[in-house]
Amino acid sequence: MDVAVLAYDGVFDSGLAALLDVLTGANAMRDELPEPPPAWNVTTIGFRRRVRTGAGHLVETAPVGAAEDADLLLVPALAERRPDALIGYVSGPDSAPLRRLVATARERRTPIGSACSGTFLLAESGVLEGLRATTSWWLAPYFRTRYPAVTLDETRMVTTSDGVTTAGAAFAHVDLALAIVRTTSPALADLVARYLVVDERPSQASYTIAAALAQSDPMLAAFERWARIHLDQPISIADAARAVGVSERTLQRAMRRTLGTSPVRFVQDLRVERASHLLRTTDLPLETVARKVGYEHANTLRILLRERTGATAGALRR
Overall size of the chain counted in residues: 318
Q: Pick from 111, 163, 172: which is nearest to 139 by CA?
A: 172
What is the reported pLDDT for 316? Answer: 87
Per-residue confidence (pLDDT) for residue 311, from 0 to 100 = 84
DSSP 43-70: EEEESSSEEE-TTS-EEE-EEGGGGGG-
pLDDT-derived band at 173, boundaries 50, 70, 90: very high
| Three-class secondary structure of residue 1 per DSSP | coil
How many whole angstroms separate alpha carbon 125 and alpha carbon 105?
A: 11
| Entry pTM | 0.81
What mean pLDDT value characterizes the chain? Answer: 94
pLDDT tens for 206-232 read 777 777 888 888 999 999 999 999 999
Tell me the per-residue pLDDT of 257-300, one tens digit each, with 9 for 90 and over: 888 889 999 999 999 989 999 998 999 999 999 999 999 999 99
pLDDT tens digits, one per residue of 1-60: 899 999 999 999 999 999 999 999 999 999 999 999 999 999 999 999 999 999 999 999
Residue 191 pLDDT level (bands cut at 50, 70, 90) = very high
Integer angstrom CA distances of residue 250 from 217, 219, 221, 235, 290: 13, 10, 14, 17, 30
Answer for the pair 302, 239: CB distance below 8 angstroms, yes or no. Answer: no
Neighbours of 217 (CB within 10 A): 18
Return the pLDDT at 134: 96
pLDDT of residue 317: 85
Predicted local confidence at residue 205, as pLDDT: 73
Instruction: Give the pLDDT confidence of 240-254 residue by residue, as tens digits.
Output: 999 999 999 999 999
Helix, strand, coil shares of the chain, percent, nearest 5, are 55, 15, 30
Tell me what pLDDT residue 259 has. 86
Residue whose C-alpha is closest to residue 134's, from 117, 113, 118, 158: 158
